[in-house]
Amino acid sequence: MSKNKTALVTGGSRGIGLGIARALAKEGIHLAINGVRDESAVTDVLDELRSYGVEVIYARGDIGSASDREEMVKLILRKFGHINYLINNAGVAPKERKDILEATEESFEYVIRTNLTGSYFLTQAIANTMIRQKNENPGFEAAIINISSISATVASVNRGEYCIAKAGISMATQLFAVRLGEFDIPVYEVRPGIIETDMTAGVKEKYDNLIANGLCVQKRWGKPEDIGSITAVLVRGQMPYATGQVIVADGGLTIGRL
């Protein structure tokens, strides 16, 4: 890996995002970690990532806010001058899981704004910076990786807004893959299954039982480092002829079985 490659990991201070950030730091990639918490709350995480010998900055902001996205991109470009990799990972769950016959428009808008709208327009902004870099230097390496969920295709009627957002991310991956093909900027989707994070802590007992009873082919929870390992493969350029493709990391959960 070149010593001056950089990545923006949204939602990178915990959960899957932190698993990805650790994997990229081990690859020698400088990091911009995005999150909504105060920097004082993530100091230990940032210091840990710096211990791998890379530069790490904190780009605080809500990706669902246009002004926050703009300031975030400006900050990263001021610091590093370019962005090689965008990892769209930030996401929220519904504040309350409600049946789609009862779920509110407010909840729908809250989830869509971060999980879909924010990622879509952050991709637009950063894709344009990547194109400029490519025009200046055809050898500039860039890629966009969208972290979605098996909820893009697996229906959960008590969190429909989340499923719809992830399905949208899946299509956004294909759209940007097509649009950026002429610039040789691959776009990938990584589709995790049940991953052990803060977001899934509230349903741990439920899924412990389901996994023990054969929900997944591989009888364990997924870990953030599992998704980090896949992301590292992608940023290394080891899937060079596969733009627009989906890598399903669900321990075999979605394999059809009798």
User: Which residue among 58, 85, 120, 162 is the active-site one?
Assistant: 162
Task: Give the pLDDT of the chain (258 residues) as one tens digit per residue.
Answer: 457 999 999 999 999 999 999 999 999 999 999 999 999 999 999 999 999 999 999 999 999 999 999 999 999 999 999 999 999 999 999 999 999 999 999 999 999 999 999 999 999 999 999 999 999 999 999 999 999 999 999 999 999 999 999 999 999 999 999 999 999 999 999 999 999 988 787 888 999 999 999 999 999 999 999 999 999 999 999 999 999 999 999 999 999 998
Whole-structure pTM over 0.75, yes or no?
A: yes
Secondary-structure breakdown of the chain: helix, strand, coil percentages, each rounded to the nearest 5? 45, 15, 40
Q: Taking the mean position of all CA atoms in its chain, how far away is CA 30?
A: 17
Question: Is residue 162 among the annotated active site residues?
Answer: yes
The sign of the CA dihedral 69, 80, 143, 37 is negative
Q: Is 240 exposed, middle or buried (0-12, 13-18, 19+ CB in 10 A)?
A: exposed
Tokens matching residue 3? 């010593």
Of 7, 114, 22, 19, give the one whose Cα is nearest residue 61: 114
Q: Which CATH superfamily is domain 6-249 in?
A: NAD(P)-binding Rossmann-like Domain (3.40.50.720)
